Structure formats: structure tokens, C-alpha cells
Amino acid sequence: MRKIIVVRDPREFNLGLSGVEVVSGKDYLTDPAFATMRNVRIFNLSRSYGYQSRGYYVSLLAEARGHKVIPDAKSILDLRSPRLVKVLGRDLQGLVQQQLAEKKKDDFQLSIYFGRNVNRKYDRLAHELYKVFRSPLLRARFQRTDGEWELRAVRPIPYNDIPEEHLPFVRRTAREYFAKKRYDSAREDQSSYDLAILVNPGDSAVPSNKRAVVKFRQAAERLGFKVDILGPDDIDRLGEYDALLIRENTHVEHHTYRFARKAQKEGLAVMDAPDAILKCNNKVFLAEALGTHGVPTPRTMIVHAENRQEVIGRFGLPVVLKLPDSTFSRGVTKAHSAAELEQKLNDLLEESDLVIAQEYMPSDFDWRVGVLDGRPLYACKYFMARGHWQIYNWNSGTKKDRTGDFATMPVDQAPQAIVEAAVNAVLAVVGDQGLFGVDVKEREGRPFVIEVNECPNIDHGVEDLVLGDALYEAIIGSLKERIERRIGIRPSAAPAAPAQHP
């Protein structure tokens, strides 16, 4: 394989290597000869990897040309994000504490040259950081706070910033590095399966925050998946994958449903499956299914033009009204008077032939029980938004007051009746496959199921407070089990809900 080092100015690069070409970033980007080369490995040692800089485009275009490149564009973007650097570095926390335990000062910088450090004591840490961040020349900065070391930043080292006293080591290490026929691969290159995670930064009610998406990705990589993050315009790429995890608020008349339907048609393991989106997004279906199976709910009525006059007689006032496809408290309203009820029914019945009316059950909080493959996974109390009767107050003037507080607890510490009602609701509506969140009100110790959500919130710092990384691994493990069941591999272990402890 042809090896090419790309630097800002080849005249400044003097490692004395044989069998390796050294070219400028400008030439690599502009000379058409490079675009047609095949069987090439690019080592990008550009001075800067800033977003949309020349160094960034070297890696990006190398990937587009089918060249194997170190670092790739994803690794470059990883390096730019301090938050992501901290998250990615957490897998190395134990090693970091061990290797830096005897340091006297609370700040430490580690130079990484082709996966090595000039001090053999730190060789293992340097090599592990190289495998995570995949760049030949790096400098990592650590800081100790309250007795614990933390990775704060990782930056590429421009070649001309290498200290003079390090150059003999760098030249020797570079000769060994470029003599290799194989290079340490990122974890995803060793993966058994391919997972697509659908996210949409433009979604105002995202079911997973950015840290949770990173956690899903890390869990998937630990379980043997190569992971790509897809956006709403990437539906034609689904054929490349074995599984699809949707982490965007789902609707039927929406690209999320089209993603799920196409993925299912092409044989992918899907979470959430299209039938789950269809059923859970429709409050009319939920009311019918829960009632048929005897799941306790607030008194509920399916309202249409012919029976709208019966609402007050059935429920009194105030009464809750819901559009069939309402989510995250949107499309859910409350009528306090007969005139207000008349006007709101007029508005809702213009949008839908059927509307849900439900008795108003005031409470300080709703339970949310996560159910994975028919088993409880997490339990959380969601408190009402300040001064509001719902968890979400979309009309709040401040983001702080848009949602209420929360309290996550081990499932075995939540009331048994609440957990059982949630599990029974999922089994009644969709069966024992998939991830769901069930909202339950509690009155005098009795559960009343409000709804079953097919794309429940999994936010880092909220739903994962009890289980931590095991929560993400259980969800990804469910997808993996489905893949292996489909291709005839007996899974080594079922992705049961992890044991929980107070």
C-alpha cells in the first residue's frame, strides 16, 4: 500500500523516512492525480485540524477518495469538542488514575508521538489515547480536582512544535510506525454489526440529549457495533446497516416513521418499530387497547361530532382533551368552562375526526416506567413544570421553567402496583418487544396509566442515574439479540434489565 504523509510544507519535515512520500496539503487537495490514486494510506500531519481548515479537508477528501486516512474526519471533530474529549476519555479513567497517581502537581501534559511517549512509564496511556483519538501527533492535558485526574483536552501537535530534545525519539518512533503494515484500528473497524442512530438537532423535543447519544454510541461499540449517526436526509443509507435506533421524536406522518418502515422492510432490527410508532402515537388506539385488556386508566371517552355534548355529563369540569397524535404534552389541553370546552372541541375536531376526553387527575408528578422487551428497566418521577398542570409547559417564557424536576430510583424501590401497571400496559398495546416509557398517575396508592410512549426519554443525567452505562448496554443488547436471532446465532445472554441497587 502506498503511504503518503501530508504536511503544510514538506521542506519543514525532516524525519528521514524511507518508503513514504511527503506532500503538501495544498497539493493533495488540488492535484487531480491524488484523486484517482487507489490503495493509498494518508497520514495527515497538517498544522491545524480546525473545522473546514485545510487539514480538516485533507482527511475529509481522503475518505471521499477511498483512501485510508489517519486521523479521519470524525476523529478530527472529536478533538474539537472538549465535552466529547471528556466523554471519550472516561473509558480510560482507571488507567489515568493509575499512571498519574504519583504526580506532585495538579496539571500534566502528555505528548503522544505515533502512539508512544518519550517516557516509557506513560507508554500504555499514550497508546490507549492514540487508539481513541487516532492522530499521530497529539498532546493531552490532564487536571487533578479533588484528588481525581480528569482528561481536559487533546490537541494535535504541529510538527514544528515538537521540542528539539524530543526529535531523536520522534524520528526513531516514526520509522517504526511507518514501517508497519497494519495500524491500530478504531473499535468500530473490528465490529460485527452496523448500527445507525437517527438524530435530528432541529427536533425541539429530542428524546436523548447529546451526552446520551454519545453513551449509546459507546455502549454499541463495546457490544461489537460500528456506529454511524444519521440525520433526516439519510434514509437511502439504511441498507448499509443491521440495526436502526431512533433517537428523535417520532410521528406517523413524518420521516421517522418512513425510516422505521424502510428499515423493517430491509430486515434491520428497529427501535422503534413502525407498528409501535403507529399504535403509541394514536391516543384513540391506546384508549381502546388499554380498556380492552383491563389496564387501569383515568376515565376516558372517545369524542366525535355526535357525542361531544356528553363530555361534561361524563367528566364534569375541568376536563382534559387530547388530539390522537399528541406527544410531549403538545396537543393536550384543559377546558375549565362549558364555553371553553365548546371552543376547544371545535378546534380539535377540525384537525381530527376523533378526540380523546379524559378526567382531570391533578397530581404533583407522573411516574414514568421504562419497559424493555416486556421487563421494567427504570423508574422515574417527573414533577409538573412550575405553575403548570403538565410536565412540559411549552408556553413558558424561560427554558428553566419549561419542565419540572425529576427523581430517578431503582425499579424495586418504585411502588410495585405502578411498575406492574406499566408492564401490563405495554403488553396490552404492543407486546414484549421494544423500548417504551409508560406514564402513570398515582391516586391513593392506585395506578392509572396515562399513555405508552414508543420513543421515551433516555437522557444522560436523568433516566440513567441508577443504571449508568448498563442502561444503554441493555437497550443496545436488545437490538443485538434481535439481529442474532434473525441470522440464527444463539445469543450468549439475553439483554435482561440489569440488576438495580439503591
182-206: pLDDT as tens digits: 555 544 444 579 999 999 988 877 9
**Residues 213 and 84 reside in one and the same domain:** no
Are 34 and 168 members of one domain?
A: yes
Q: Are residues 341 and 215 in the same domain?
A: no
Last residue of a domain, one of 151, 179, 207: 179
To the nearest 10 degrees (0 to 180), the angle between helices 416-429 and 283-292 is: 110
Q: Is 39 within the bounds of a domain?
A: yes
- Residue-level pLDDT at 92: 85
pLDDT digits 0-9 by tens, 484-496: 998 877 655 544 5
Domain boundary among 314, 338, 359: 359
Q: In this structure, are residues 268 and 451 in contact, taking their beta carbons and an 8 Å threshold? A: no
In a domain, 390, yes or no: no
Interatomic CA distance for residues 289 and 296, integer angstroms: 11
Asked whether residue 132 is domain-assigned, the answer is yes
Angle formed by the axes of helices 82-89 and 73-80, to 10°? 100
Domain shared by 164 and 254, yes or no: no
Say yes or no: 355 and 219 in one domain: no
- Give the domain CATH number at 256: 3.40.50.20
What stretch of H or E contains 173?
Answer: helix 167-179
Q: Tell which residue, 309, 339, 335, has the closest CA to residue 320.
A: 335
214/147 same-domain check: no
CATH classification of the domain holding 327:
3.30.1490.20
Output the DSSP codes for 244-307: EEE-S---SSSHHHHHHHHHHHTT-EEES-HHHHHHHT-HHHHHHHHHHTT---S-EEEE-TTT
Per-residue pLDDT tens for 443-456? 999 999 999 999 99
39: left (phi over 0), alpha (psi -120 to 50) or beta: left
- 75, 198: one domain: no
Summarised one tens digit per residue, pLDDT across range 248-258 is 999 888 899 99
Structural domain containing residue 334: 299-359
Residue 457 lies in a domain: no
Whether 204 and 161 map to the same domain: the answer is no
Measured at the alpha carbon of residue 101, what is the angle toward residues 97 and 103, in degrees to the nearest 5? 130
Asked whether the predicted pLDDT for residue 137 surpasses 60, the reply is: yes
Residue 394 has pLDDT above 50, yes or no: no
Mean pLDDT score across all residues of the chain: 86
Report the helix count and the strand count for the chain, using DSSP H and E.
16, 20
**Cβ count near 10 (within 10 Å):** 15
In percent, how much of the chain has pLDDT > 70?
89
Nearest to 281 by CA among 257, 247, 245, 305: 257
pTM: 0.59
> Domain for residue 156, yes or no?
yes
Residue 461 lies in a domain: no
CA 53 to chain centroid:
28
Strands (E), 114-215: 137-145, 148-156, 193-198
In a domain, 117, yes or no: yes
Question: Does any domain span residue 453?
Answer: no
Q: Domains in the chain: how many in total? A: 3
Residue 53 has pLDDT above 70, yes or no: yes
Give the Cα separation of 225 and 192 in Å (integer): 6
